[in-house]
A and B are shown apart, each in its own frame.
Chain A
Amino acid sequence: MKFMLALCLSLLTLTSQAVVNGHLYPFDNELDKDRFNILAEDLRCPKCQNQNLADSYAPVAGDMRDKVYELMIEGQSDDEIVTYLVDRYGDFVRYNPAVQKNTFFLWFAPGVMVLIALIIIISITRGGKKSKPLSEEEKAKLAQLQAARREKQDS
C-alpha cells in the first residue's frame, strides 16, 4: 500500500499535465501547464456560449483546446494564441475583452460612474455646510422673536 502510494506520488511529479474534461495535455514544465489552464479558462466556447474552453464538452471547444495546445507547443505566446482564435471566431471568444473602440464603454464606464458619484457626493455635502449670512429682514425677525421670548420668560 505504502509502495503504491509512493509510486503514485512519484508519477505525479514526473511531468506536468493539464487535465481538461478527461483529456490530458502533457507539458514539460509547470509554467506552461498553468498558462494552458489560464488560457482555457479565459477563452469562451462559441457553441455553448456561457462556458469556457475548459468547462465545455462541445466538440468545437475540444478542437479549440487542442489548437491552443498545439500552438503552445509550437512556442507561440499567449497573445498570439488569443489573436489566432479571435481572427477566426471573433472577439466573442475572449472572456477578457481587449481595450478597443467598441469596448471603451465596458472598460471605462465604471470609473466614470464612480467619478460622477464622487462629484455628486462632494457637491451635496459641501452645499449643505455653506450657510448664507442673514438678510436684514431675517435679522429683524430674529430680534423680534428673541424679544418675544424674553418677554415670555419675564412674565
Chain B
Amino acid sequence: MNRILLFIPLIIFIVMAIFLGGGIGREDKDVLPSPLIGKPFPQFILQQVEADKQLTQSDLQGKPMLVNVWATWCPTCKAEHQFLNTLAAEGVRIIGINYKDDDDEAKVWLRDFGNPYEFNISDPKGKLGLELGVYGAPETFFVDGDGIIRAKHVGDLNQRVWQKYKGIFDQMKTHVEPVKQDGEENKGEKQ
C-alpha cells in the first residue's frame, strides 16, 4: 500500500506537466482579451480630422460599424488600408480614430491612399485610445447600432481575418433593436 503512495508525487507531476504544458503553446501573446466587449463605447468629446466639428460617442450609433484606430506613423496601418478601402466599397461603415497623429499628415494620407472612413476622430494625445485600452495600432472595434462594443481585433484587417469576424458583423446588422430604453433615447435626442 505504502509503495503506491510513493508514486503520488510522480502522478501529480505528470498531471501538472500535461496541464501546464498544454497552455504554453496556446497563449497568443499579441492578442489580449478586451474587457470592453459588451460595454458601451466610452464617452469622448473630440474634433473631427476632416472638418471643424466636435464629435461625441453619440455619433457612433445607428448603423453597425467598424471603429478603426490608425496613424500615419504605423506601418501595419498602411498594410491594411487597401483592405479597408475594399470593405468601405462593399458598404461596410468604417469610422476612423486618428491615434496620436498629426491632423495635416492624416489628411495627406487619406488623400493619397483613399478614404474608407465615414469620418475620422482626431485623438492627438491618445486619450480616447487609453479609454479604449489601445496598446498598438491598428486596432479595430466592432460597434453595433446601439453603440455597444461587440468585438475587438488587434493587428491588421485582411481577407482572412475578416472571414473570422464577418459572422459577428453580420449578426450586429440584424441586432439593431427598436427603442428599448425610452428614457435614455429621449435624453440623447435632446442633446
Roughly how many angstroms separate A14 CA and B134 CA in the complex, as a whole number? 37
Main secondary structure of the interface of B (DSSP, over half): loop
- Contact call A88/B130, Cβ cutoff below 8 A: yes
Contact indicator A90/B130 (Cβ below 8 Å) = no
What class of interface size applies to chain A in its complex with B?
20 to 34
Q: Which residues of A contact B134 (CB under 8 A)?
A: 60
On whether the beta carbons of B130 and A49 are closer than 8 Å, the reply is no
What count of chain B residues pass the 8 Å CB interface test?
23
Instruction: Let me know if A107 is at the binding interface, CB within 8 A.
Output: no
User: Per a CB cutoff under 8 Å, which of A58, A88, A117 touches B132?
Assistant: A88
Please indicate the chain A residues that have their CB under 8 angstroms from the CB of B29 in the complex: 49
Q: Which residues of B have CB within 8 Å of A63? A: 126, 129-130
**What total of A-B pairs shows CB separation below 8 Å?**
52
Q: How far is the CA of A63 from the CA of B127 in the complex (A)?
A: 9
Of the listed stretches B2-10, B47-55, B107-115, chain A binds: B2-10
Say yes or no for B81: interface residue by CB 8 A criterion: no
Comparing A16-24, A74-82, A120-128, A146-154, the segment that makes contact with chain B is A120-128
Q: Does B131 contact A (CB under 8 A)?
A: yes
When distances are taken between beta carbons in the complex, the residues of chain A under 8 Å from B161 are none
B18: min CB distance to chain A, Å: 15
Contact residues in A for B9 (Cβ distance below 8 Å): 117, 120
**Hey, what's the 0/1 contact readout for A94-111 against B, CB within 8 Å counting as 1?**
000000000000000000
**B33: which A residues are within 8 A, CB to CB?**
90, 92
What is the CA–CA distance of A120 and B9 in the complex, to the nearest angstrom?
A: 9
A47 neighbours in B (Cβ, 8 Å) = 135-136
Bound Cα distance A136, B31 (Å): 72
Q: Nearest CB to that of B35 among chain A residues?
A: A90
Cβ-based interface call for A87 (8 A): yes
Min Cβ gap A48→B in Å is 9
CB distance from A68 to the nearest CB of B (A): 11
Whether A89 contacts B35 by the Cβ 8 Å rule is: yes
Q: How far is the CA of A64 from the CA of B36 in the complex (A)?
A: 17
Q: Which residues of B contact A128 (CB under 8 A)?
A: 2
Query: For window 30-82 of chain A, which residues contact chain B by CB distance below 8 Å?
Result: 46-47, 49, 58-60, 63-64, 67
Interface, chain B (partner A; CB < 8 A): 1-2, 5-6, 8-9, 12, 29, 32-36, 100, 126, 129-136
- 5 closest A-B pairs by CB: A46-B135, A88-B133, A89-B133, A90-B35, A47-B135
